[in-house]
Chain A
Amino acid sequence: MANESNLPEAGKPSGAVVEPVVDPGTAYQPDVDIVENGDSMVLYIDLPGVAAGGTQIEADENNILTLKARNSFREPDGMIVRQAAIGDYFRAFQLGSEYDRGRISATLKDGVLAIHIPKREEAKTRRIEIRT
């Protein structure tokens, strides 16, 4: 799923934005709930340990949504029980063509990333009222 075109272009100044360096090969796959209504869909993704600014979300021309997240939780030494995968996260989603990649918004709160993806105007559910 790694998409080369998502990487910053060589020679292009990246400005003050520090891109999270996440290796999709070793990153963990986070759990997701996807909720859809007639107008949009919301992806709720568990990213325990990821702080504000630690995520990178991209949607390319093929409507592939890619999430990379950098974990800032420092695990102590001396692990005796391991049930949770704490580390960097990577996941990619193929969006349907009815979704508008140009108007995606996202919020990160308490380790949960919510990505809001609206449908294109023409793809939204229309309610037809019945006239009496």
Chain B
Amino acid sequence: MLWDTLVFNDLDEMRRDMEALADWGGLRTPVGAGFPALNAYESKDEYVLAVMAPGIAKDKLDIRLDENSITISGNRPLPAEESPDRRYLRHERGHGPFERTLRFPAKVNRESIQARLENGILSIRVPKSEEAKPKNIEIKA
């Protein structure tokens, strides 16, 4: 029963990834770099990333912003080392070092990025640069 659920999760995730790429060719992430999982949101003023980082301390996370891309790296340790007296009955959570790079489809304002880690979710707000924001054109009478 658990196996079925896992298979469906994987298929569902694959479908979502493909849909996300097909719908919107912008924020690209290298194939296979699925850990940690993240969601991205776009409004007319900014991009918001929500990175799943439960159990990762602030000082174990690193955010680097280049001209048009963002790199999030860090390390999530195992909750406990395996030993002769201690064994894993189940192991589903991702762990170990990671690095993910995402490219923004529009220019961003690197000066006013904000990051916040709360309840295991790292939220990063990246404002678009002025020139990338949609403009309203006023129609003169």
Contact = CB atoms under 8 A, between A and B. Distances in A.
A and B found bound together: yes
B42 A73 contact: no
Interface in A6-41: 29, 31-38, 41
A28 to B, nearest CB: 10
Interface string B15-35: 011001001101101000010
A81 B27 contact: yes
A128 interface: no
Contacts of A130: none
Task: Using C-beta atoms within 8 Å of the partner chain, give the interface range for chain B.
Answer: 35 or more
B42 A46 contact: no
Nearest to B5: A29
Nearest to A41: B89
Given A48-B52, A80-B27, A83-B17, A33 B93 contact: yes
Interface residues of A, number: 36
Contact of B53 (A35, A48, A75, A109): A48
Contacts, number: 130
Nearest to A76: B41
B87 interface: yes
B134 to A, nearest CB: 13
B62 interface: no
Nearest to A79: B41
Contacts of A112: 54-55, 79, 120
Given A46-B93, A80-B24, A35 B87 contact: yes
A67 interface: no
Interface of A: 29, 31-38, 41-42, 44, 46-51, 72-73, 75-84, 86, 109-112, 114
22 contacts: A32-B90, A32-B93, A33-B88, A33-B90, A35-B86, A36-B87, A49-B121, A51-B119, A72-B119, A80-B23, A80-B24, A80-B40, A82-B39, A83-B13, A83-B20, A83-B34, A83-B37, A83-B38, A86-B39, A110-B55, A112-B54, A112-B120
